[in-house]
Amino acid sequence: MAAPKKKSLIDAVAPATPASPPESREQSVPALTPSSQKKRPPSRKGKSFVGGYFDPAAAKELKKLAIDLDISQEAAIAQALNMLLESHGKPPVF
């Protein structure tokens, strides 16, 4: 009598039911609608982000200067940008 045929490894790991076909890309990615986008605070409306990556020491000095002047870091950067623009003959923007 012949020994029963052994199952292959593929048969052992195959799902009992066939897998459903993958969803199309359009179905799996939600459409960006105004309701799904994050809302900006009113104070940021009509403004653009301007930033950069600096050494921690530079960030610390900016923070200390803003505290000493009793202004926000954003106000300190705005003041510095105005000074830079004026030094190149451009009108201030803040």
Examine residue 64 and state whether it is found in any structural domain, yes or no. Answer: yes
Q: Kindly indicate the confidence band of residue 25, based on its pLDDT and cuts at 50, 70 and 90.
A: low
Q: What is the pLDDT of residue 21?
A: 62
Q: What is the pLDDT at residue 23?
A: 62
Full domain range(s) for residue 60: 55-94
Inter-CA distances, 94 with 16, 33, 50, 76, 90, Å: 67, 33, 13, 11, 12
Quote the DSSP letter at residue 75: H
Q: Is the pLDDT of residue 35 over 60?
A: no
> What is the DSSP secondary structure assignment for residue 45, as one 8-state letter?
T
- List, in order, residues 6 or more apart from 94 with CB less than 8 Å away: 78, 79, 81, 82
The answer to whether position 6 is within a domain reads no
Instruction: Give the count of domains, the chain.
Output: 1
Report the alpha-carbon distance of residue 63 to residue 72 in Å, rounded. 8
Give helix 56-69 / helix 73-87 axis angle, nearest 10°. Answer: 100
Residues 1-23 have pLDDT tens digits of: 666 777 777 777 777 666 666 66
Q: Is residue 63 part of a domain?
A: yes
The span from the first CA to the last CA of the chain, in angstroms, equals: 94
